Amino acid sequence: MVTDHEYPQQAARTLLAKLVEEFVTDCCGGKDIATATQIPFPKLQEYLVTYQDPHQADSMLKIKKELDDTKIILHNTINSMLERGTKLDELVSKSDGLSAQSKMFYTQAKKQNSCCSVM
């Protein structure tokens, strides 16, 4: 089997193992392979089409890909939560600043209005 460097080795091994197993059971069940000139094996084309996408054909690769996708989603979620936490901290500090300013305004207004009496 010849593949490029991007095609996973595990998927290639799985494909070859399945092909050999099915070939031996379907086509060679009683035939002498050495003397045969032509041995039909129609499942070969089906397997080649199936294994074009190794993640769909090999369950281990499929699970690994799903785990990698989940890991990316979790990293993005954690990053967005950290950003929200930072924004909440900023809001809390601004709220504390506003609270201190309102208290100062209240005490100054009370001092200003203490000289006047309401009749």
For residue 31, is pLDDT > 70?
A: no
44 CB contacts (<8 Å, ≥6 apart)?
19
pLDDT at 28: 61
Average pLDDT estimate for 6-22: 81
For residue range 34-46, list pLDDT tens digits in order: 555 566 677 777 8
- For residues 40 and 118, what is the distance between their CA atoms, to the nearest angstrom? 109
Check residue 44 and give left, alpha or beta (phi > 0: left; psi -120 to 50: alpha): alpha
pLDDT at 54: 76
| AA identity, residue 2 | V
pTM of the predicted structure, to 2 decimals? 0.45
